[in-house]
Amino acid sequence: MVEILKGSRSEILLFALDMPPEQVRFLREEEGALAQVLGLEHIDMNQVEVFDAADLEGIGLVGYLHDGIGIPLADLEPYAEELAAYTGHLLLIRARAFADAGATLTPAAPISLILRLGETKTNWRAKPEAQEEPQRLSPRAARNKARRIGATLFAIVMTLILLLIYVLAT
Q: What integer pLDDT is reported at residue 123 of this predicted model? A: 59
**pLDDT value at 129 more than 80:** no
**pLDDT value at 119 more than 70:** no
User: Pairing relation of β-strands 103-105 and 2-4?
Assistant: antiparallel
The arithmetic mean of pLDDT across residues 94-120, rounded, is 81
**pLDDT value at 36 more than 70:** yes
Pick the closest to residue 77 from 115, 123, 121 (CA basis): 115
Pick the closest to residue 67 from 120, 13, 123, 10 (CA basis): 120
**pLDDT value at 17 more than 90:** yes
**pLDDT value at 69 more than 80:** yes
Q: 83 burial class (0-12, 13-18, 19+ CB within 10 angstroms)?
A: buried
The arithmetic mean of pLDDT across residues 125-138, rounded, is 71
User: What is the pLDDT of the chain when averaged over all its residues?
Assistant: 86
**pLDDT value at 89 more than 90:** yes
